[in-house]
Each structure stands twice: as structure tokens, then as C-alpha cells.
């Protein structure tokens, strides 16, 4: 079987550092072995540090980002609750779907794909319902939009609702301050700017979120994701069996978090910005146009329009087969119309950018 060494410049997974791959080859110990408890404690502490939060209920769900999304929503929503869900791409739609499956009423605030959610629309929605929570995507990977959060957080709090954030793509790639921004529940993913293998979802919950959980009238409908059960698995020395943790993935996660902290969050964010600018200048000099207005662009996910006369699939196939480079295509209304070029974590690298620009020039010009 052939397994090529690809350069991962799509919407995730991103390239993984050799130190992280080596960590995955560490011999297994039992998941309740005292040495593994240390691994879990390290992960918890470093997740708090990278999320800039002191929330004691911060841990990693043993499943990908979508399970983190589901963890936040199934624990906080009960049948009959109202939830304001902001939708400006694929992942907002997924949140609305999950909220409705919880039996909640989803009050949708929508923006055109490629634009951020408008503050005014959020205000109107919050005033016209009795919201348990408001959920929003910080970095919409389907469109390349960075959503400003602070004002929406203030409005949500003023309405007495919990502020829930999808930080799957923004985490470890751009500024994200859980405590300072008043975020009550947040989920992310391991395979984007953290550059660990896919399959884990860091999550964090504020005291207000825990209070909402403690005041539920009904059982959480998911056994696996029920926080009141799983939280004991992450409760330090009192740890009790809940499920068998994906031990090798946890070794990888710990190493990836160490690499982030060695680099430093600010340096890491600056690197993501710098490589985004390098790519932007190169693509614009070739005549490409970005989908998103400059001030709302994500540094780690560059959405550009495919120029007239260029076939999406042909170019992406040649990039993969001839250059071993993966980039992402458009989703939904943007299928065949945009490319999504990821510069996430280890993939945010000047050599990667130069290689992609040269390959695109060879194919297109
Ligand atoms: C990738 C992504 C998800 C889903 O994560 P999976 O690990 O694929 O389940 C959710 N939200 C956003 C914004 C994403 O980019």
C-alpha cells in the first residue's frame, strides 16, 4: 500500500511535528496507570494555559471537534430551551442541527457566507426570545471568516444567556481568551492549529455553565458525552473508569501542547499572520481575489476565488499527484468556486507557502 508524504495545506488536518509522531509510538500503559494520570494532568494544565482560562472543568473529549460541539450543546440544552445560533457557514448550521436534536428551539441569526455575523442582528434575536445560550463560530473554516466575539459576549451576558464558542480552527492560531472574553463553553479540535493528529477535542466550561448543568431537569440524552459522568474521569487522583482513553493520541496531544508553549502563544499567532501575508501577496500578484474582506480574514484559512476558466478539480488533483500538496475545495454554495488554503500549526511555514505558489504557477500560468 502506498502512503505518500503529503504537504497538508487544506482545512485540517495540518502537518504534525516529528516529535508528536514519535510521542505516539510511546509504549502503552493502562489508562488508569498513575503514570498516565500524569499525562492527563499535564494535558489539562496546558489546555487551560493555551485557552487562557482558569476553568477547573477543562479537558479533552476522546473524539473529534464535532463531538466537542455536541458535548457543549447536549449538556447545556434541554427540550423546550431556546438557543440563539449564529450561522455564517457550514459549522453554524451543524450547531443548529444539534440544538434541534436536543429538543431546543434554534433561533437562527444568519449572515452571508464570507461575512461575519452583524451585532445588530444578534441584538434583535436576543431581545425577542428567552435564550439559554448563544452559540457562534470564531473561525468559520468553510468561508475563512474571523468573527469578532467580545461585543457579542457582552450582549449575550446582558440577556442572561451562556456564551458558547466554536474555536476548532482559531485555537492556537489566533488570539483566543476564554476568561477575558466571558466564554462559558468552548470546544476545539486537535488537528488544526494545534497540529496534533485528529480525534480529540479540547473543551472548557465556566462556573455558570456548570450551574446550568447542575440545574437540569432532564438527563443528558448522550451517555458518553454527559459531563456529570465524564468529568470524574478528569478529576485528578479521584479518577474513576468512564471509558478507555485513546492513550497514544493523548501522548501526541501532550507533545503538541508542549511545542505550542515552547514557541509561545504570541509568537505562534505572529507566525500565522506573517505566513498568511506571504501567501496573500503571492496569490494577489498572480491575480487571485480573496473571498473575505481584509479585516475579517483568518490567518490560518485563506479562502480565494478560483479564477474564470480554471477547473477546480483538475488543479487540486495535479497539486496532489504531482506536488504532494493538499488544499481544500469550497463547501456548499462555494463548491467549485473557491479554494481553501490552510496555514495551520506546523503547516504555517514560509517554505510551504513558496512551494504552493511555485506549484500553482507551474500548473496555471
Ligand atoms: C473542523 C471543524 C469542526 C469539526 O471538527 P471535526 O474534528 O472535523 O469533527 C467544527 N468546527 C469548525 C469551525 C471546524 O473547522
Q: What is the pLDDT of residue 235?
A: 80
How far is Cα 116 from Cα 133, in angstroms, rounded to an integer? 19
Q: What pLDDT was estimated at residue 240?
A: 84
Query: Residues spanned by CATH 3.90.1150.10 within the chain?
Result: 7-12+265-364
Q: Which grid coordinates belong to 182?
A: 466571558
Annotated binding residue at 280?
A: no
* pLDDT attached to residue 96: 98
The label of the residue with cell 510551504 reads 352
Helix (H) or strand (E) holding 247: helix 247-263
Task: Give the pLDDT confidence score for residue 206 in this predicted structure.
Answer: 98
Q: Provide the pLDDT for residue 74.
A: 98
Question: 203, 195, 161, 255: which is closest to 15 by C-alpha?
Answer: 195
For residue range 10-56, what is the model confidence (pLDDT) as tens digits?
999 999 999 999 999 999 999 889 999 999 999 999 999 999 999 99
Domain 18-261 in this protein, CATH class = alpha beta
pTM, whole model, 2 decimals?
A: 0.97
Residue numbers of the chain with a pLDDT score lower than 50:
none
Residue 72 CA to ligand 1 centre (angstroms): 14
Pocket test of ligand 1: the residue of 93, 139, 168, 170 to mutate, having most ligand atoms within 8 Å of its CB, is 168
**Residue 99 Cα, ligand 1 centroid: separation in angstroms?**
16
- Helical (H) or strand (E) element with 96: helix 90-101
Q: Supply the pLDDT for residue 232.
A: 85
What is the Å distance from ligand 1's center to 363 Cα? 30
* Element counts in the chain: helices (H) and strands (E): 12, 13
Residue extent(s) of CATH 3.40.640.10 domains in the chain: 18-261
CA distance 234 to 60: 9
CA angle in degrees (0–180, nearest 5) for 196-202-208: 165
Residue 130 burial (CB count, 10 A): 12
pLDDT value of residue 282: 98
Is 173 a pocket residue for ligand 1 (Cβ < 6 Å)? Answer: no
Q: Whose CA is nearest to atom 12 of ligand 1?
A: 168
Asked whether 282 lines ligand 1 (CB < 6 A), one says: no
For domain 7-12+265-364, the CATH class is alpha beta
Amino acid at each position: 500500500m502506498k502512503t505518500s508524504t503529503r504537504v497538508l495545506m487544506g482545512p485540517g488536518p495540518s502537518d504534525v511535528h516529528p516529535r508528536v509522531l514519535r510521542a505516539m509510538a510511546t509504549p502503552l500503559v493502562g489508562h488508569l496507570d498513575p503514570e498516565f494520570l500524569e499525562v492527563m494532568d499535564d494535558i489539562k494544565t496546558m489546555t487551560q494555559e493555551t485557552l487562557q482560562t482558569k476553568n477547573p472543568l477543562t479537558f479533552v473529549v476522546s473524539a473529534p471537534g464535532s463531538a466537542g460541539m455536541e458535548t457543549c450543546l447536549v449538556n447545556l440544552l434541554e427540550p423546550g430551551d431556546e438557543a440563539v445560533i449564529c450561522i455564517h457557514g457550514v459549522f453554524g448550521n451543524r450547531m443548529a442541527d444539534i440544538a434541534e436534536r436536543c429538543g431546543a428551539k434554534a433561533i437562527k441569526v444568519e449572515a452571508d457566507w464570507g461575512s461575519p455575523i452583524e451585532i445588530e442582528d444578534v441584538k434583535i434575536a436576543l431581545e425577542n426570545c428567552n435564550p439559554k445560550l448563544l452559540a457562534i463560530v470564531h473561525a468559520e473554516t468553510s468561508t475563512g471568516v474571523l468573527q469578532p466575539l467580545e461585543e457579542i459576549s457582552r450582549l449575550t451576558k446582558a440577556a442572561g444567556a451562556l456564551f458558547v464558542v466554536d474555536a476548532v480552527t482559531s485555537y492556537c492560531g489566533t488570539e483566543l481568551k476564554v476568561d477575558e472574553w466571558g466564554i462559558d463553553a468552548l470546544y476545539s479540535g486537535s488537528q488544526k492549529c494545534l497540529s496534533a493528529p485528529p480525534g480529540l477535542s479540547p473543551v472548557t466550561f465556566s462556573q455558570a455553565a456548570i450551574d446550568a448543568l447542575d440545574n437540569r431537569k432532564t438527563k443528558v440524552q448522550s451517555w458518553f458525552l454527559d459531563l456529570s459522568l465524564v468529568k470524574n474521569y478528569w478529576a485528578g487522583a479521584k479518577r474513576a473508569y468512564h471509558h478507555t482513553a485513546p492513550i497514544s493520541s493523548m501522548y501526541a496531544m501532550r507533545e503538541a501542547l508542549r511545542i505550542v508553549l515552547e514557541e509561545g502563544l504570541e509568537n505562534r499567532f505572529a507566525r500565522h499572520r506573517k505566513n498568511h501575508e506571504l501567501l496573500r501577496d503571492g496569490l494577489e500578484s498572480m491575480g487571485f481575489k480573496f473571498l473575505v474582506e481584509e479585516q475579517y480574514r483568518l490567518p490560518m484559512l485563506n479562502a480565494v476565488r478560483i479564477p474564470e476558466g480554471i477547473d477546480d478539480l483538475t488543479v487540486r488533483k495535479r497539486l496532489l499527484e504531482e506536488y504532494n500538496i493538499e488544499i481544500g475545495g469550497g463547501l456548499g454554495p462555494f463548491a467549485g468556486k473557491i479554494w481553501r488554503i490552510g496555514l495551520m500549526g506546523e503547516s504555517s511555514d514560509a517554505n510551504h507557502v513558496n512551494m504552493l505558489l511555485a506549484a500553482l504557477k507551474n500548473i496555471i500560468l
